[in-house]
Amino acid sequence: TAALNPAFAIALNDYSSRRFSRSIANFEKAIAEEPGNDAAHFFAGMACLESSEWEKACQHLEGARKSGGAYASKAAWYLALAYLKMEKREEAKVVLEEFAKAGGSKAGEAKQLLAKL
């Protein structure tokens, strides 16, 4: 198995300890070293959400969503919520529609949100 990127490992530790600004910096370092690291994009996005850095959160969550990897579906859900937080309803609708079509654990919630938009 491949070794865990050191910056990513530090970032995960910071994230789990709720040191979000530190974790963001380390996740971004890990992404710079491994641009395809969808987990780093996802957790960077989540840390940005926790820090109310909505635009930055959207960039990272979009990266994880587009990767099609293990975090793509979760990233889409939180991306839609971030768009709603920023009052970007149209962007949120697009993501929620894709999410609802894909099915999955929160497809019902996505459809309910879409009905309210």
| Whole-structure pTM value | 0.88
Class of 6-116 in CATH: mainly alpha
**How much is the pLDDT for 115?**
83
**How much is the pLDDT for 3?**
67
**How much is the pLDDT for 35?**
92
Q: Which of 57, 28, 16, 109 is nearest to 5 (CA)?
A: 28
**How much is the pLDDT for 2?**
54
pLDDT 10s per residue in the chain (117 long)?
Answer: 456 889 999 999 999 999 999 999 999 999 999 999 999 999 999 999 999 999 999 999 999 999 888 999 999 999 999 999 999 999 999 998 888 887 777 777 888 877 887
Residue 79 carries which side chain, given as an amino acid letter? L
Residue with tokens 């894709």: 98
User: How do the domains of the chain map onto residue ranges?
Assistant: 6-116
For 52: left if phi > 0, alpha if psi spans -120 to 50, otherwise beta; the answer is left
Q: How far apart are CA 58 and CA 30, in angstroms?
A: 18
**How much is the pLDDT for 1?**
42
